[in-house]
């Protein structure tokens, strides 16, 4: 018998009986998903499998009655209290939806916490929504039984509305107990799966737009906010549609085909610590040879394996071969890694959620501490000195604009620029890049850049430390100019705005090669047109249909004049465009520097002692919660 079938056969029994025995009276707490779906009926879902109902029991054989249980319960209670205090004191430090999910887990018995997993199909990438449904069905199907009614309902389900798939540890659910509520914003499906009945598992199946996951600069925080707190559209009584968060512990992003693989490869899934993973349905050699930070699966092979095993036990070996070749077991292993514990310990998925929340809170506290330090330094600058710096900035901006106009006027009427006249391209076409680069190096705001360094030095002297100036960001991440981007995360952060140098590099690396290429292309076109005209004139002269050399010469002259006129017109247009581009980019650079320094010079109100005390208290609570989490069993 295959490993899969062995697991299926051993999935019920004592675990299910113990779960039914642990349904003592407890205070019911409805989670976000349950509140939107109306919850589950007691005849269908055992209390142990409900997401947010804390479980208490007075049975003498419970693990909580062991000598080590009070200490473990004390740690959970203290951790819960610390998080509640943080929520009431500094809610801005957390994603409140994820925090509520973590608190619900702490209010449940250790090892019996309900775990939610989101299965997200990329909506606008091929057929990823269908692939997500098929993958979930393959994971939950029992090959030892015939096709169940819920499998047919899942196949025909339209993912325009999210679907909650509840894995029940109660008696086997037949077709009459399967409930898909048509009028609810989140529809619910109750099933029984021997592999997962005793694990307290709930799936949220929905589509998500690929553009929502993507970002100009993908970050793990953005990915967690979208994948671990997906939004569900709900309609109120007055007809208004709003987005309600549905937090989960783990998320599986499902894509289909090469386009889906490209979309997933751009996401920082590997930085989530295992809370988020990706799977792409690829068939054939393309999937076998692909090395990527996501799982490559073949859902069709998994479905074929289940179908063959249901036809008869003689297909067990073939089922096992297809099942493992599909790579679906890698996803089931990832899924169970957050669910299975020993000795009634807290489930890993719950611990991971708590650790992620505290890490994010620490990062938020560090940012606020930096803001407090900056404001404190700004408030210590004397008023007269601050006024003088503002005046100095205004004077620098005036001189920079004047220098930009005067220096570029000299440059574009000087000898170097005249060397690039259209008639000189025949012997100077290879010097276009060198001459224009010299103009940028010597005439593009050299004095303004030196004066800017002096001005920012005065600011740093008065403030006691150099402020953080907003730096330019390239819109061309793959260009050579991107290597020169200096962002706030760099170790060699400049102590002055880098807009002038950045713009100079951009003009030299992006526009100068384009101007050089234009010159070469126009010259080749002119020579080609002249050659064609001359050749045609020669053929006319040699043919018997021409009257003499004058007509042939007229044809050659017409072609040469046309080609030279075209060269002159297009090249002069290109030169004027580049000249205007340099002036405009210089004006933008001066304006950006002025705004950057002005932001650093804005005198901000000093932080009140109450704000500083609140932040310090939040920092202590986060440290206390981290220490309690390290002791949580």
Q: Per-residue pLDDT tens for 239-248?
A: 677 778 889 9
Sequential DSSP letters for 287-298: HHT---SSEEE-
The whole-number pLDDT of residue 577 equals 92
| Residue 1: both structure tokens together | 């018998």
**Among 165-179, 210-224, 342-356, whose mean pLDDT is lowest?**
165-179
Spatial neighbors of 67 by CB under 8 A, at least 6 apart, are none
Q: Answer whether residue 479 shows pLDDT above 50.
A: no
Q: Answer whether residue 268 shows pLDDT above 60.
A: yes
Instruction: Supply the angle between the helices 69-89 and 348-379 in degrees, to the nearest 10.
Output: 40
Could you identify the residue written with the tokens 């700004």?
A: 378
Phi, psi at 192, each rounded to 5°: -125, 130
Residue 208 burial (CB count, 10 A) = 24
Q: Do 320 and 595 touch, CB atoms closer than 8 A?
A: no
How far apart (Å, rounded) are the C-alpha atoms in residues 528 and 78?
Answer: 84
Phi, psi at 380, each rounded to 5°: -85, -5
The whole-number pLDDT of residue 43 equals 31
Q: Answer whether residue 233 shows pLDDT above 60.
A: yes
Q: Answer whether residue 191 shows pLDDT above 80.
A: yes
| Nearest one of 374, 369, 364 to 611, comparing CA atoms | 369
Q: Do 46 and 169 touch, CB atoms closer than 8 A?
A: yes
Could you identify the residue written with the tokens 């997401």?
A: 51
| Nearest one of 325, 568, 297 to 424, comparing CA atoms | 568
Q: What is the mean pLDDT of residues 249-268?
A: 84
How far apart (Å, rounded) are the C-alpha atoms in residues 321 and 329?
Answer: 12
Per-residue pLDDT band at 9 (split at 50, 70, 90):
very low
Per-residue pLDDT band at 10 (split at 50, 70, 90):
very low
How far apart (Å, rounded) are the C-alpha atoms in residues 356 and 248?
Answer: 13
| Residue 395: both structure tokens together | 């004077």
% pLDDT > 90, the chain: 7
| Nearest one of 453, 451, 461 to 382, comparing CA atoms | 461
The whole-number pLDDT of residue 497 equals 86
How far apart (Å, rounded) are the C-alpha atoms in residues 102 and 86?
Answer: 13
How far apart (Å, rounded) are the C-alpha atoms in residues 86 and 91?
Answer: 7
The whole-number pLDDT of residue 246 equals 87
**Among 101-105, 136-140, 469-473, whose mean pLDDT is lowest?**
469-473
Q: What is the mean pLDDT of residues 212-225?
A: 74
| Residue 340: both structure tokens together | 């299975």
- For residue 342, count CB atoms less than 10 angstroms from its CB and return exposed for 0-12, middle for 13-18, buried for 19 or more: exposed
How far apart (Å, rounded) are the C-alpha atoms in residues 76 and 83?
Answer: 11
> In terms of pLDDT, which residue wins out, 21 or 418?
418
- For residue 541, count CB atoms less than 10 angstroms from its CB and return exposed for 0-12, middle for 13-18, buried for 19 or more: middle
Q: Which helix (H) or strand (E) holds 127?
A: none
Q: Answer whether residue 363 shows pLDDT above 80.
A: yes
% pLDDT > 70, the chain: 73
Q: What is the mean pLDDT of residues 235-257?
A: 82
Render the burial of 441-473: b for 16+ CB within 10 Å, e for the rest: eebbbeebbebbeebbeebeebbeebbebbbbe
Q: Answer whether residue 287 shows pLDDT above 70.
A: no
The whole-number pLDDT of residue 578 equals 92
β-strand partners of 255: 280
Q: What is the mean pLDDT of residues 142-153?
A: 86
The whole-number pLDDT of residue 585 equals 92
The whole-number pLDDT of residue 176 equals 36
β-strand partners of 280: 255, 296
Tell me: the pLDDT tens digits for 103-138?
Answer: 988 888 888 888 899 998 887 655 656 888 889 999
How far apart (Å, rounded) are the C-alpha atoms in residues 561 and 527?
Answer: 11
The whole-number pLDDT of residue 109 equals 86
Q: Answer whether residue 58 shows pLDDT above 60.
A: no
How far apart (Å, rounded) are the C-alpha atoms in residues 345 and 595?
Answer: 55
The whole-number pLDDT of residue 76 equals 86
The whole-number pLDDT of residue 271 equals 82
**Among 96-105, 113-122, 434-443, 476-485, whose mean pLDDT is lowest?**
476-485
The whole-number pLDDT of residue 72 equals 61
Q: Do 315 and 351 touch, CB atoms closer than 8 A?
A: no
pTM of the model: 0.55
How far apart (Å, rounded) are the C-alpha atoms in residues 296 and 26?
Answer: 43
The whole-number pLDDT of residue 481 equals 40
| Residue 427: both structure tokens together | 């012997």
Sequential DSSP letters for 38-83: T---TTTS-GGGSTT-------TT-GGGSTTHHHHHHHHHHHHHHH
Q: Answer whether residue 545 shows pLDDT above 70.
A: no
> In terms of pLDDT, which residue wins out, 311 or 468?
311
> In terms of pLDDT, which residue wins out, 464 or 234?
234
| Residue 367: both structure tokens together | 């940012």
Q: Do 237 and 223 touch, CB atoms closer than 8 A?
A: no
Per-residue pLDDT band at 41 (split at 50, 70, 90):
very low
Q: Which helix (H) or strand (E) holds 115?
A: strand 115-122
| Local structure of 119: helix, strand or coil | strand
Render the burial of 267-296: b for 16+ CB within 10 Å, e for the rest: bbbeebeebbbbbbbbeeeebeeeeeebbb
Q: Answer whether residue 52 shows pLDDT above 50.
A: no
Mean pLDDT of the chain: 75
Phi, psi at 417, each rounded to 5°: -70, -35
Distance, C-alpha 397 to centroid of its chain: 38
Q: Answer whether residue 173 shows pLDDT above 50.
A: no
The whole-number pLDDT of residue 13 equals 37
CA distances for 213 relative to 246, 262, 267, angstroms: 16, 13, 8
Spatial neighbors of 425 by CB under 8 A, at least 6 apart, are 519, 522, 523, 567, 571
Residue 239 region by backbone torsions, left for phi larger than 0, else alpha for psi between -120 and 50, else beta: left
How far apart (Å, rounded) are the C-alpha atoms in residues 256 and 614?
Answer: 48
> In terms of pLDDT, which residue wins out, 128 or 500?
500
Sequential DSSP letters for 194-252: TTTGGGTEEEEEEEE-HHHH--SS--HHHHHHHHTS-EEEEE-TTS-EEEEE---SEEE
Per-residue pLDDT band at 33 (split at 50, 70, 90):
low
Spatial neighbors of 289 by CB under 8 A, at least 6 apart, are none
């Amino acid at each position: 018998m295959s490993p899969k079938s062995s697991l299926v056969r051993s999935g019920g029994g004592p675990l299910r009986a113990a779960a039914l025995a642990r349904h003592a009276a407890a205070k019911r707490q409805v989670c976000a998903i349950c509140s939107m779906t109306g919850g589950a009926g007691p005849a269908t879902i055992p209390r142990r499998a409900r997401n947010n109902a804390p479980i208490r029991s007075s049975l003498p054989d419970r693990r909580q009655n062991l000598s080590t249980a009070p200490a473990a319960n004390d740690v959970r209670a203290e951790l819960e209290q610390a998080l509640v205090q943080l929520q009431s004191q500094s809610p801005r430090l957390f994603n409140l939806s994820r925090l509520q999910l973590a608190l619900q887990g702490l209010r449940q018995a250790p090892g019996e916490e309900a775990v939610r997993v989101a299965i997200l199909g990329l909506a606008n990438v091929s057929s990823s929504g269908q692939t997500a449904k098929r993958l979930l069905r393959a994971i939950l199907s029992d090959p030892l039984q015939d096709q169940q009614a819920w499998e047919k309902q899942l196949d025909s389900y339209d993912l325009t509305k999210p679907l909650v798939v509840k894995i029940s540890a109660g008696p086997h659910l037949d077709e009459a107990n399967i409930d898909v509520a048509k009028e609810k914003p989140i529809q619910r499906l109750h099933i029984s799966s021997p592999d997962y009945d005793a694990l307290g598992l709930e799936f949220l199946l929905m589509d998500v737009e690929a553009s929502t996951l993507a970002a100009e600069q993908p970050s793990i925080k953005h990915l967690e906010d979208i994948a671990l707190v997906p939004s569900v559209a709900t309609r109120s009584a007055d007809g208004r549609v709003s987005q309600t968060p549905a937090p989960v512990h783990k998320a599986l992003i499902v894509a289909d085909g090469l386009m889906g693989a490209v979309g997933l490869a751009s996401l920082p899934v590997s930085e989530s610590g295992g809370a988020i993973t990706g799977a792409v349905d690829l068939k054939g050699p393309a999937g076998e040879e692909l090395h990527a930070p996501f799982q490559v699966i073949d859902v069709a092979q998994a479905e074929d394996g289940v179908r063959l095993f249901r036809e008869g036990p003689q297909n067990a070996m073939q089922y096992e071969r297809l099942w493992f070749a599909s790579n679906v077991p890698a996803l089931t292993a990832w899924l169970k890694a957050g669910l299975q514990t020993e000795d009634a310990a807290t489930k890993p998925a719950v611990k991971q959620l708590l650790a992620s929340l505290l890490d994010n809170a620490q990062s938020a506290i560090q940012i606020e501490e930096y803001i407090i330090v900056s404001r404190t330094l700004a408030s210590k600058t004397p008023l007269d000195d601050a006024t003088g710096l503002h005046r100095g900035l205004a004077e620098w901006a005036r001189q920079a604009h004047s220098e930009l106009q005067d220096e570029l006027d000299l440059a574009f009427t000087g000898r170097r620029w005249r060397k690039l006249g259209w008639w000189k391209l025949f012997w100077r076409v290879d010097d276009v890049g060198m001459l224009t680069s010299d103009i940028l190096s010597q005439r593009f705001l050299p004095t303004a850049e030196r004066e800017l360094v002096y001005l920012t030095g005065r600011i740093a002297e008065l403030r006691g430390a150099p402020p953080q100036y907003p730096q330019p960001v390239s819109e061309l991440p793959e260009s050579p100019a991107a290597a020169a981007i200096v962002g706030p995360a760099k170790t060699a952060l400049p102590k002055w705005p880098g807009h002038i140098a950045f713009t100079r590099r951009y003009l030299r690396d992006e526009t100068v090669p384009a101007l050089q290429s234009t010159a070469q292309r126009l010259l080749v076109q002119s020579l080609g047109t002249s050659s064609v005209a001359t050749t045609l004139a020669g053929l006319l002269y040699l043919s018997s249909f021409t009257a003499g050399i004058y007509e042939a010469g007229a044809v050659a002259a017409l072609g040469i004049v046309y080609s030279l006129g075209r060269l002159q017109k297009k090249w002069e247009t290109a030169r004027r465009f580049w000249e205007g581009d340099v002036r405009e980019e210089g004006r933008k650079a001066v304006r950006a520097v002025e705004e950057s320094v002005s932001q650093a010079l804005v005198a901000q109100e000093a932080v009140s002692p109450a704000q500083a005390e609140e932040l310090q208290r939040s920092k202590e609570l986060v440290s206390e919660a981290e220490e309690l989490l390290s002791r949580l069993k």
